[in-house]
Amino acid sequence: MLLQKLCFKYPALRFSHKVEKTLSRLFSVSYTSSMEDTLLKDYDDQQVQLMKEPCILVNDHDEVIGTASKKSCHLLSNINNGMLHRAFSVFLFSSKNELLLQQRSDAKITFPGLFTNTCCSHPLNVDLEMEEKNAMGVKRAAQRKLFHELGITPEQIPLDTFKYLTRIRYKAVNIPDDKKFGENEIDYVLIICKDVDLSINTNEVKSIQYVTKEELKELIKSCEMGNVVLTPWFKLICEHFLFQWWDNLDNLKKLEDHKNIHDFTDKV
């Protein structure tokens, strides 16, 4: 299994025996059964496997109400019936105040090839990633995915380096629109200010680039002209929050908003 192989190869990922045992059980569905799912039969095998991840279902107030597979959470048929899940978006800044962007791999089932922030994914329905105090569960999930996608080891980004800013809610259809998948998320925004070593997982990430504020603004202009495409959540965060945060990286505490969920479901 993918996660077990990662834990064996990279001991730093072994958070605890309990977590490994739980995740092993959750990822125990056979490879053969995934290929029998006709909806996903034409997609990349590794990405199909990841669609079995157990995401966290929430209500409008971000209260946990259950769990469902990543595939189920992203099916438009379920989204149109109100299925809402928890997610996160990480923005990593270097000591030069440059933001690390990624271009999503073409193998991704949702939003393939699009440009986005450093890392975007979901906390899983396991005890350590469901801990809500100080968003610790979300931070653990982000630490896990930064390693999976970008090879940033947990030692480089201890949990106390993650700054939880706020939450946004949005809804979007897949790009390109396949009439199958989309997003309906409450998204926790996390910021890290740290120089890191990278080792890219090409099944997840097509390219990376550190950008200045001015370079990102040019990228946004290119998006408006139709030359590049940004993920909908990244575009929303850029339009409403990012540049103010960027100007206050040394004092983000004053910009924290953990009370409100900023609703942009009608803005995409």
Return the active site residues.
120, 185
Q: Residue 79: which residues within 8 A CB-CB, separation 6 or more?
A: 73, 171, 182, 183, 184
Please identify which residue in the block is written with the tokens 């809500």.
132
The Cα–Cα gap between 4 and 17 comes to: 11
* Burial readout 190-217 (b: 16 or more C-beta within 10 A, e: otherwise): bbbeeebeeeeeebbbbeeeeeeeeebe
Residue (of 41, 208, 206, 64) closest to 123 by Cα position: 64
DSSP class of 166: E
